[in-house]
Amino acid sequence: MTLTLDEVRRIAHLARIEIDAREAAEVHAKLEAIFTMIDELQAVDTTGVEPMSHAQDVVLTMREDRVTETDRHAEYQRVAPAVEDGLYLVPRVVE
């Protein structure tokens, strides 16, 4: 996969990120390096390799499922700027 400098600028614009020419060139170079690495990984033949969830054999120790902390809900609500019916009130962000 390749990415042009214009595409980097367009993505920055869509993300509302102000980026100058030098920064765009740096980001472009870094993204190209990432894409090259991805291409190398995809080229590796993994036929016969068993999928695994960890790079090493890991055995997770199970513990008893019990509450270890006290309920501090009321304490947190006392210091909140605005609370109603047990919910935190926050300023409207999206109209």
What angle do helix axes 21-43 and 5-14 make, rounded to 10 degrees?
110
Report the predicted TM-score, pTM, of the whole model to 2 decimal places: 0.53
Task: Output DSSP code: residue 85.
Answer: T
Would you identify the CATH topology of the domain 5-43? Answer: Histone, subunit A (1.10.20)
Nearest to 73 by CA among 62, 65, 63, 85: 85
The Cα 92–Cα 95 span in angstroms is: 7
The Cα 46–Cα 53 span in angstroms is: 15
pLDDT tens-digit series, residues 20-31: 999 999 999 999
pLDDT tens-digit series, residues 71-84: 999 999 999 999 99
Residues in the chain: 95
Written as one letter, the residue type at 22 is: R
